[in-house]
Amino acid sequence: MNKPPHISIISPVYGASTLIDELVSRIGESVGKITDDYEIILVEDHGPDDSWEKIKAICRNNNRVIGIRHSRNFGQQYALNCGLDHARGEWVVTLDCDLQDRPEEIVNLYKKAQEGYDIVLASRQNRQDDFMKKLFSRLFYRVLSYLTDTHQDASLANFSLYHRKVVDALKSMNDYSRYYPTMIHWVGFRMAKINIEHAGREDGKKSSYNLKKRLALAFDTIVSFSNKPLRLTVKLGIVILLTSFLLAIVLVVRYFMTDQSVSGWTSTFLSLWFLSGIIITLLGMVGIYVGKIFETVKRRPSYIVGEKINFQVEEK
């Protein structure tokens, strides 16, 4: 058994077999400027290429690299979850594997942390993403900020540095659905952010997060971290109720004052369809939250490890 390292670096890996060697090399060069006491945790999320074979080859030649493979694809946030569960360092860095998060910036994150911060976030400047991804990201964070009553910064992603006590706090959260850019705001602690340059993908590939996956992540995150949609539906119901009540008074007064009845099947059917749509929407919203409760009470693990390489248990 070995004592825990000073720094752990976690990178979820998916479809990045051509980048892994450079990723590990650049992380080692960067962290080596801080300390020789570090570990690199590569969590392979059961991707479609030979990334796991590359990781196993690296682990055989470098005992600082820990390889973990999921039993199936669980998603990036759960790969981070797995990495945080296995990280042993006093400081923990998380970054993506596509090298758009430049490993050389780890030194700057660490320097900022030495000023007394427990969390240091990397704010991406001049993002090298396509227009639709940047537009969707801004829209998502604005909606998430509104629905969670918090300030969410679209320039922040997974590239961060955490102190051990922050990692322990994140691990103590038993949320089934996880989205770490939001979770770190909930746990608190002293937080800072620094500006970094965002790089383009080294392999020229597009992100594996297509529009469908992004929408699914956005919807899941909003429902998991906020009950405001339920409160908004209650407000909508009250507005419809008051509007209907006022309209009824107007129609009654109109009938007795002018002796005119309200005729027309079209208005009746439109009203019925409108109210039916509102009711179905409200029931659907409640059903979604009940479904989330059902997922949580089953207490299934958020990920399952299929294989591990070079993992060591720390000394007590």
- 61 shares its domain with 182: yes
Instruction: Catalogue the long-range contacts made by 288-295 (C-beta closer than 8 Å, 24 or more residues apart).
Output: 288/223, 289/223, 289/227, 289/230, 292/176, 292/177, 292/223, 292/224, 295/176, 295/177
- Look up the pTM and report it: 0.70
pLDDT at 292 (0 to 100): 67
Same domain, 203 and 233: no
68 lies in a domain? yes
What is the mean pLDDT of the segment spanning 110-136?
77
More confident position, 197 or 256: 197
* CA distance linking residue 308 with residue 294, whole number of Å: 31
Q: Determine, yes or no, domain membership for 86.
A: yes
**Span of 79-83, 115-119, 200-204 with lowest mean pLDDT:** 200-204
Residues 192 and 267 in one domain: no
pLDDT at 126 over 90: no
Average pLDDT, whole number, for the chain? 77
Q: What is the DSSP string of 42-61?
A: EEE---SSSHHHHHHHHHHH
Instruction: For residues 14 and 157, state if they share a domain.
Output: yes
User: What confidence tens digit (pLDDT) does each residue in 85-95 have?
Assistant: 888 989 999 98
Q: Looking at the structure, do residues 163 and 242 belong to the same domain, yes or no? A: no
Q: Is the pLDDT of residue 316 over 50?
A: no
Residue 269's domain comprises 228-297
Residue 99: pLDDT band (50, 70, 90) is confident
56 and 144 share one domain: yes
Confidence of residue 172 (pLDDT cuts 50, 70, 90): confident
Helix (H, G, I), strand (E, B) or coil at 293: helix
Is 108 a residue whose pLDDT tops 80? yes
Our count of domains for the chain comes to 2
Q: Is the predicted pLDDT of residue 230 greater than 80, yes or no?
A: no
Residue owning tokens 């892994």: 20
Q: Of 119-133, 228-242, 252-266, which gets the smallest average pLDDT? A: 252-266
Give the pLDDT score at 39: 92
The more confidently predicted of residues 5 and 256 is 5
**103 and 168 co-located in one domain:** yes
Q: Are residues 16 and 163 in the same domain?
A: yes
Structural domain includes residue 315 = no
Residue 200: per-residue pLDDT: 65
Report the pLDDT averaged over residues 82-105: 88
235 and 192 belong to one structural domain: no
Quick one: pLDDT at residue 196?
A: 80
Residue 141 within any structural domain of the chain: yes
pLDDT above 80 (res 35): yes
